[in-house]
A and B are shown apart, each in its own frame.
Chain A
Amino acid sequence: MEREEIVLGNGAIAMGLVESGCRILTSYPGTPSSEILPEVVRRVKAEGLNTYIEWSTNEKVALDNAFAAAVAGKRSACCMKQVGLNVAADSLMSAAYIGNIGGLLIISCDDPGPHSSQTEQDTRFMARLAKVPVLDPADPQEAREMVKFGMDLSEEFQIPVVLRPAIRVCHARQNISPGPIKISEQKASFEKNPSRWAATPKFRLKLHGELNLKLKQIGERFSSARQFNFHNLEQGSHYTLGIVAGGVPSAVIRDILAEEGRDDIPLLKIGTPFPFPDALADEFASACDKLLVIEETDALIEYLLRDRNKVMGRLTGHVPEQGELVPEVIYGIMRRVLKDLGLKPFLKKEDRDVKELVNGLGLPVRRPSLCPGCPHRASFYAIRKASPKAIFTSDIGCYTLGLNLGGVDTCLDMGAAITMASGFYHAFSQDEKKQPIVATIGDSTFFHSGTAGLLNAVYNNARFVLVILDNEITAMTGMQPTPGIGIRADGTEARPISLERVTKGCGVDFVEVVDPYDLKGMNDTLKKAFAYTEAEDGGIAVIIARHPCVINNRENAIPERIRVRVTDDCTSCSFCLERFECPALYYDDDLGRVNVNRAICADCGLCIQVCPQNAIVEVKEL
């Protein structure tokens, strides 16, 4: 046996992909899925494998690409976060009917909590909607095994398979031993068959019938997939209560039952919730009077269990309908059910004293902020200064944190900075009301979903200022390259896409590039842009605020370090704290004025331009 490694869940998924003989991988980054692709790159390089890997511009693009490769017979995979699957839904629904030749695994990572997402949506329901099998791992090792199983299943039944790891699988770590790698020699081929690959509605009906048949067979297969679906019933025993669980909650429950020594409560663990392993579930249900269903994030297993009278879960009010099922929540659910059913209570008592103590302390929250030196801070400061009364539509990325500076009013979905800006414009202009609007969107988000909305806005005569915050990286998700910078997923050279040319190509005549570190230049350009949106022959104004991310590219972000200090001219007006919101500036009780936290200051020197009292100055020596 090779040495065990401590592997991140996403690394275990990557390990599974490499071991399964995956030849094509596409993805768009998004927490908690982002580490899968870079881990595959690392392993592929280490093993010298010929695997095609790309960061695609968005999830639909990624899935279409992976699907085509699978149609050509290659084992393919596509990974994304759960809301990314919404973007790829069009592709998924249709691909389910058509099916694939080489295995096609879609990995969509859920975020119960939510920790880093707009919704707590449950990918298992997307799979159910599309009518494709879905696998729900409980831990990194199981995720890795499910990748290999899913790839084989997809190829055998010619159906896309979805793996749904939750964030506590993706970002858990455990010890794992590497396994053998399947070397797939399958050459690309394409056999023309328009009634399948380009099916018209008439043929779609036939494909739908075939899909339903596949699901029936896979459901039967799942009842015997005991590596993922298992229970611990004693033959011939009957139980007052049985628990049915999947994914991360099933692991939590196994720990709780072991810790409490509860042999009187059997567990049915379901790793393949759709198509539902009916035979296995019926066997379990018949041995229990009541079934408590604990799953994340929605109620899928609960709906699919056939004997509804036995089931306790979300629909009966026993399980919370939102939020992550963390151990203390599951403990609480089980505690209550044991009491309701008159079963022996848990040994462990709740420790109330200290819990109330923490609530009583009123501890200040530690909200996330843009980093010291972040160029977005400069952009938001300038935008708010140039047009304090504007509606600020924004988007998904680090820059959503511009809300701390009062520079973000809306955040809906990828690309909605632009589409909501045009929507607001038309709503207000209908009433002949002049309402300034500034849309902010990151470079990667613009490439993901910006162009269709911009084309639409130009075409329909909307007027607003669009600021593309171009920090030359996808920062929030962990520094993945964007199409703008000329680097591909594996580090090789790419053909860079020019934001200037794309926006001009969308029909925008006002496109200016400015460095937001030059606050005055940024302010002047914004004024010009507002004038353009109001001019008779004007239109949409695009400003590309270009400055490298201070975390990804510090050298170029801050070529000359400007050390600052606060002088006694500071009147404690708090302007810098509230409007610039740099984490390195704080009110110092002892000095009775603002001070600089040297430990985190990025030495960008921007605050010198911000202070109304000119009390922040550069120091040559500290």
Chain B
Amino acid sequence: MKENKQITNIFLSGVGGQGAILASNILAEVFIGAGYDVKKAEVHGMAQRGGDVTTHFRYGERVYSPLIKQGSVDFLLAFELLEAIRYINWVKPDGKILINNQKIFPPAVNLGTAQYPDDIVGTFKSYFKDNVYVVDGGEIAKKVGNIQAANVVLVGAFSNFLPEISDEQFVKAIKSLLAPKLHDLNEKAFYEGKKAI
């Protein structure tokens, strides 16, 4: 058996309602299908009423805990800009970052009592250089036919980081989790996302 050292850590962050949990379930199907041990941790309850939502996702030969340590994230998949920068210190120095180019203002910003941070992508690039990728998930999803599919667009873009997994494996996982009437739309969303970076 391989050592635990080879655990890969994926951290998903966003705002309640953006579909981050479905995205992590797609990843789970994919990696279980590929024969890995998978553990993930989600946030439910109070945090879902418009709060920030995070999912820890880990796969490897043998994973004991679902929790990722700060500073050891291999891939950050952020569904919103502020929720990306909030976790910048979770990413390891050579980690890769995929950000959905969307701003959802928290209440304090709505009220005008707090500032939404400037140039989040620039801050990421100053630390992580070429490992920072930005995708307009919402725009692409709209073009495909439904803004709700933005999460699957992001999964498509994210799949570029995982060359060991085939597109077919992703599409199969997406279909296994969605109602048949949504299959075509989301398959398209996946491939459009894949082309986006």
A residues within 8 Å of B by Cβ?
4, 6, 31-32, 115-116, 138-139, 168, 171-175, 248, 251-252, 254-255, 258-259, 261, 326-328, 331, 348, 350-351, 354-355, 357-358, 361, 363-371, 398, 401, 404, 476-478, 574, 577-578, 581, 583, 585-587, 597, 599-600
Whole-angstrom distance between the Cβ of B3 and the nearest chain A Cβ:
7
- Over the window 49-92 of chain B, the binary record of Cβ atoms lying under 8 Å from chain A Cβ atoms (1 yes, 0 no) is 11110000000000111111111100000000011011011011
Tell me the bound Cα distance from A466 to B7 in angstroms: 54
Q: Is B106 an interface residue (CB 8 A)?
A: yes
Tell me the bound Cα distance from A275 to B92 in angstroms: 42
User: What are 18 A-B residue pairs whose CB atoms fall within 8 Å in the complex?
Assistant: A6-B25, A116-B45, A116-B46, A172-B39, A175-B28, A254-B64, A258-B3, A351-B71, A351-B89, A361-B85, A364-B108, A365-B106, A366-B15, A369-B50, A401-B49, A476-B46, A577-B111, A587-B112
Whole-angstrom distance between the Cβ of A584 and the nearest chain B Cβ:
9
Q: Is B161 an interface residue (CB 8 A)?
A: no
Add 9 more A-B contacts to A173-B38, A368-B47, A599-B147 (CB < 8 A). A116-B47, A172-B40, A258-B3, A363-B117, A364-B115, A365-B106, A368-B16, A401-B49, A583-B107
Tell me the bound Cα distance from A369 to B114 in angstroms: 17
Tell me the bound Cα distance from A319 to B105 in angstroms: 37
Q: Is B169 an interface residue (CB 8 A)?
A: no
Q: With A115-B46, A171-B44, A364-B108 given, is the CB distance from A327 to B65 under 8 Å?
A: yes
Whole-angstrom distance between the Cβ of A268 and the nearest chain B Cβ:
15
Q: Is B122 an interface residue (CB 8 A)?
A: no
Q: What A residues does B45 contact at CB under 8 A?
A: 31-32, 115-116, 476-477
Partner of B110 from A139, A261, A363, A586 at Cβ < 8 Å: A586
Whole-angstrom distance between the Cβ of A401 and the nearest chain B Cβ:
6
Residue of A at shortest CB range from B4?
A: A258
Q: What A residues does B89 contact at CB under 8 A?
A: 351, 354-355, 357-358
Tell me the bound Cα distance from A583 to B107 in angstroms: 7
Residue of A at shortest CB range from B46?
A: A116
Tell me the bound Cα distance from A187 to B68 in angstroms: 48
Tell me the bound Cα distance from A354 to B71 in angstroms: 9
Q: Is the CB of A173 within 8 A of B67?
A: no
Q: Is the CB of A371 within 8 A of B50?
A: yes
Q: Is the CB of A252 within 8 A of B64?
A: yes
Q: Is B197 an interface residue (CB 8 A)?
A: no
Q: Is the CB of A173 within 8 A of B40?
A: yes
Whole-angstrom distance between the Cβ of A355 and the nearest chain B Cβ:
5
Tell me the bound Cα distance from A254 to B29 in angstroms: 25
Whole-angstrom distance between the Cβ of B188 and the nearest chain A Cβ:
21
Q: Is the CB of A115 within 8 A of B50?
A: no
Residue of A at shortest CB range from B147?
A: A599
Max chain A Cβ within 10 angstroms of own Cβ: one of B64, B106, B147: B64
A-B residue pairs, 4 tightest by C-beta: A258-B4, A31-B45, A116-B45, A327-B69
Partner of A255 from B4, B47, B85, B106 at Cβ < 8 Å: B4
Q: Is the CB of B65 within 8 A of A31?
A: no
Q: With A175-B38, A355-B70, A355-B89 given, is the CB distance from A366 to B44 under 8 Å?
A: no
